Amino acid sequence: MDMRGQHFIIDAYECSEDILNNAEQLKELLTKAINQLGMEILSTHFHSFSPQGVTGVIGISTSHVSIHTWPEHGYAALDLYTCGNQDIWPALKAILEKIEAKRTNVYELSRGEESNNKPVMKKINLTSNASIEKNIESRSLFQLRDDRGNEWDMKQLKEMTAGKHNILYHGASEFQDILLVEANDLRLYIDQELQFCSLDERHYHEALVYPVMEVAASNERVLILGGGDGLALREVLKYPDVKHVDLVDIDPMIIELAKTNPSLLAQNNRSFLDSRVHVHIKDAKKYLAGELQQYNVIIIDFPDPVNSILSSLYTKELFSKVANLLSEDGALVCQSNSPEDAPQVFWSIGKTIKRTGLYTKGYNVIVPSFGLWGFHLATHEKISRKIPNISVPHQALPTNMETMFEIPSSIKEEQENAFVNTETQLKLHDLYQKEIKDLY
């Protein structure tokens, strides 16, 4: 028999009082989940207490499942241990949804042979508007997963978890795993990939925001797609002529973290609390399909196209909708990955934008945590004049931004290998994975 096992210990809060007090319903829920996993049930015992509360244990061939409830507090404690490495989290999540849990603490332990007995702990909000609670600040509750992140970020995370650090938040939303950690700096990781480091994030965000804001004839109406940490928003709000900003991000947990975590609030300068800002918790595709007014500035700060879902955000179809929303004398910018590490991805994003009828101009900047990073500026009319100087207070970039538009010749040579990414020929993520793999 396989000695390896998985052990889930779950605290479920704000559950339905009626369901937690119904032994038969709970028995049915757990039995159904076990049957769906293909596990053999050996014994079942559920007991109702007076005046309320239920305890139940189901013995299975690979161990057990148990539940204990306190309906008056909306609280349930679940325990599941099973041998093997079957993915049992979907079944557990279905149970939590059925008992209408609003939030949970999940402790996952690897058991048995060659196991690492340090638990992985996550706080998971099961409602889109649930507020984020302060996480337990314990290094022992965070464990790296081999199936997340890239090799470079994994090396950094291993160094950090081996030394002194403070986990400010670790949890999982419906869309991704989120880690906010403080060492000598502040770092945000999504699915174990670094999103920013406070020591040098301004190099990225100033480069993302300033060229497009200076080239646009007006900054009155701004649209930001992505950027849920509020750092690009911080730079946008420095411009006094900005009157209205719509920020669209799919993940409510990131937005809530950026609005409430003191360290992140200090980093983004409380940008979400500005009355000019309007947040839309929505998929960018759905937002762009609505009835919208045109924008003077559009900033696209999507994650890298690491998979087909994210690759679908970098298509001709989506960029065409964005181009239609851009005012005649407006400007658009799109983060475009590293032109050094993934030059074909960089040029393919630019070529895809260009296919919508916009004129594009690629540029790059060194961000110490990431290396050389690329962007594409786009307008309805060809940018023939000199890029204006930065007109607002700034820290990381030189006032004269012209040097950012000088791209190394070795990177320019890869432009001929670029392709247009479309919904019917979605292949940017495959190219991304190939180029990143070739680095290592």
pLDDT tens track, the chain, 440 positions: 455 677 888 888 889 999 999 999 999 988 988 888 778 888 999 999 988 999 999 988 777 889 999 998 889 888 888 776 666 777 788 888 889 888 787 777 766 654 444 455 555 555 544 443 433 333 334 444 444 444 544 455 555 555 556 677 776 667 677 778 776 778 877 776 777 677 788 999 999 999 999 999 999 999 999 999 999 999 999 999 999 999 999 988 889 889 988 888 989 999 999 999 999 999 999 999 999 999 999 999 999 998 999 999 999 999 999 999 999 999 999 999 999 999 999 999 999 999 999 999 999 999 987 789 999 999 999 987 789 999 999 999 999 999 999 999 999 999 999 999 999 999 999 999 999 888 76
Cα distance between residue 431 and residue 350, in whole Å: 15
Catalytic residue among 16, 48, 63, 115: 63
- DSSP state string for 387-410: PPPP-S--SSS-S--GGGG---HH
Q: What is the pLDDT of residues 343-400, one digit of tens each?
A: 999 999 999 999 999 999 999 999 987 789 999 999 999 987 789 999 999 999 999 9
- Residue in 419, 234, 209, 248 with CA at minimum distance from that of residue 334: 209
- 63 noted as active-site residue: yes
Q: What is the pLDDT of residues 312-346, one digit of tens each?
A: 999 999 999 999 999 999 999 999 999 999 999 99
Cα distance between residue 197 and residue 184, in whole Å: 10
- 338 noted as active-site residue: no
List 333's β-bridge partners, or say none: 299, 377
Q: Is 128 helix (H, G, I), strand (E, B) or coil?
A: coil
In eight-state DSSP terms, residue 416 is: G
Residue set of the binding site: 176, 205, 229, 249, 283-284
Q: Are 100 and 78 in contact (CB under 8 A)?
A: no
Residue set of the binding site for spermidine: 205, 229
Catalytic residue among 153, 246, 301, 304: 301
pTM over 0.85: no
Residue 177 CB neighbours (<10 A): 17
- 68 noted as active-site residue: yes
- 197 noted as active-site residue: no
Catalytic residue among 15, 83, 197, 334: 83
Q: Is 221 helix (H, G, I), strand (E, B) or coil?
A: strand
Catalytic residue among 64, 68, 280, 380: 68
